[in-house]
Amino acid sequence: MSSRTTVVISSNTAWSLLNFRGGLIKALGDRGYRVVAIAPPDEYRGRLELLGCEVVDLPMDNKGTNPVRDLALTLAYRKLFRRLRPAVVLHYTIKPVIYGSLAARTLGVPCVNMITGLGTAFIRDNWLTRIVEYLYRVSQEKAEGIFFLNEDDPQLFLDRRLSPPERMERLPGEGIDLNHFPPVPTTDDGEVRFLLIARMLRDKGVVEFVQAARIVRAKAPSARFQLLGRVGVANRTAIGRETLESWVKEGIVEYLGETDDVRPVIAQAHCVVLPSYREGVPRTLLEGAAMERPIIATDTVGCRDVVEHGVNGFLCRVRDAEDLAAQMVRLLEMPVKERSAMGHAGRRKVEQEFDERIVISRYLEKIGNIVNRDREDRARALGEA
């Protein structure tokens, strides 16, 4: 295969390409593809280049709904695709999936899209939901493949006729490097630490986590509750720094800031928690389970794909701090051996269902089929000329 066969991969942050698709980028490079990453510039750009791919900066208003800016983004994608001449484009996150796909369609460039999650527009059913539905319907009509992370999102796409059913496939999450997240024994120091890893957003259930912490601390004063993730995010449901600092000052939670490597923090935790309102398949739960931590999450889209209630963790009702607290207390009252057994079950589930190698092999097969088909089409056209 020619080393000039180009695969473009695009997301709304260089950080997400590095952390969630780094293994895929390396696998594509190892097979001789020229890989070009397109994302808004950030501090992870250089580290992305170290994976062996080219990086093209493309600013985008990730959370805005300005049609002029979105049209400009579509045109910018089109200009890049004309210059790069990719054999296939892989899109991740909402704006690349929609506007990158529209640009690719106008040029006849094959694209494969990952629906990483449907976001706020599908949590609150309103006028924005109708617009986003229309954009999905138009942009996904000609996609070569549409990958979903959980069981619920493809059903929603089918029910609302947002994409052709024959092009839809489910992947086992985005995959996780099991060597990078090895099992780590839990420290038994008399404390139990509950850890929430997420951007500080209301939609991630951060408020419910804090409310549940107050309830649990009244019964178990030694329990600790920790938050890890970016604050001040450009999002309609963002939690302000002042609010976060007030919780810390109250003494109910600890804020651990941000980190590029969550493993040391998970290693010190006893349970990973995510009371999100809706997810694709949450990476933080997979990372916690891979490191043999019990997990507690809401019984909602994406989360229930990872958590088997009573086996590797517990599920609670969405937006219900009291039920979340009840599951935390349930875990607190479990003997250490039973908590360890839950952690072992979580590791087994990730090994069997969410190994990164499964995801990468599916992508390589899909890309290889597209590239080979296009070569055959060109050869046939030359033969008929």
Average pLDDT, the chain: 90
- The total domain count for the chain is 2
In sequence order, the 6+-apart residues with CB closer than 8 A to the CB of 204 are 196, 198, 274, 275, 276, 277
321-341: b or e for each residue (b if 16 or more CB lie within 10 Å)?
bebbbbbbbebbeeeeeebbb
The per-residue pLDDT for range 143-152, each reduced to its tens digit, is: 999 999 888 8
User: Would you say residue 182 lies in a domain?
Assistant: no
pLDDT tens-place string over residues 178-204 = 999 999 998 877 789 999 999 999 999
Q: What is the pLDDT of residues 33-90, one digit of tens each?
A: 999 999 998 888 999 999 999 999 999 987 666 788 889 999 999 999 999 999 999 9
Q: Is residue 181 part of a domain?
A: no
Residues 223 and 288 in one domain: yes
Residue 184 counted as domain residue: no
240 and 372 inside one domain: no
Q: What is the CATH number of the domain that holds 134?
A: 3.40.50.2000
Average pLDDT (123-131) is: 71
Does residue 18 lie in a domain region?
yes
* Residue 154 and residue 56 share a domain: yes
Pair (202, 145) in one structural domain: no
> Does residue 329 fall inside a structural domain?
yes
Q: What angle do CA 180, 184, 186 make, to 5 degrees?
A: 150
Residue 228 domain boundaries: 193-353
pLDDT top residue among 220 and 234:
220
Q: Say whether both 167 and 218 belong to one domain.
A: no
Does 1 fall in a domain? no
Instruction: Give the CA-trace dihedral at 148, 149, 152, 154, to 10 degrees.
Output: 10
The CA distances from residue 238 to 77, 177, 196, 258, 365, in Å, are 28, 30, 15, 15, 39
Short-list 329, 339, 274, 330, CA closest to 300: 274
Give the whole-angstrom CA distance, residue 130 versus residue 132: 6
> pLDDT class for 116, splitting at 50, 70, 90?
confident
pLDDT for residue 119 is more than 70:
no
Spatial contact of 286 and 346, defined as CB atoms under 8 Å apart: no
Same domain? For 289 and 373 the reply is: no
Same domain for 208 and 155? no
- pLDDT of the residue at 3: 52
Out of 61-75, 167-181, 201-215, 299-313, pick the least confident: 61-75
Burial zone of 218 (CB within 10 Å; 0-12 exposed, 13-18 middle, 19+ buried): exposed
Which amino acid would we find at residue 81?
F
For the record, the structure tokens of 137 come out as 């319907």
Are residue 348 and residue 377 in the same domain, yes or no?
Answer: no
The owner of tokens 């092009």 is 167
Cα(218)–Cα(273) distance, integer angstroms: 19
Say whether both 287 and 162 belong to one domain: no
Q: Is the pTM of this model over 0.95?
A: no
Q: Is 374 found in the same domain as 342?
A: no
Q: What is the pLDDT of residue 28?
A: 96
87 falls within a domain: yes
Q: Do 38 and 97 belong to one domain? A: yes
Q: Are residues 345 and 372 in the same domain?
A: no
**Distant-in-sequence, close-in-space partners of 250: CB < 8 Å, separation ≥ 6:** none
Q: Whole-angstrom Cα distance, residue 80 to residue 85?
A: 8
Q: Please tell me the predicted confidence (pLDDT) of residue 379.
A: 57
Give the whole-angstrom CA distance, residue 240 versus residue 87: 43
3-state secondary structure 328-369: HHHHHCCCHHHHHHHHHHHHHHHHHHCEHHHHHHHHHHHHHH
Asked which of 157-166, 220-229, 350-359, 369-378 is least confident by mean pLDDT, the reply is 369-378
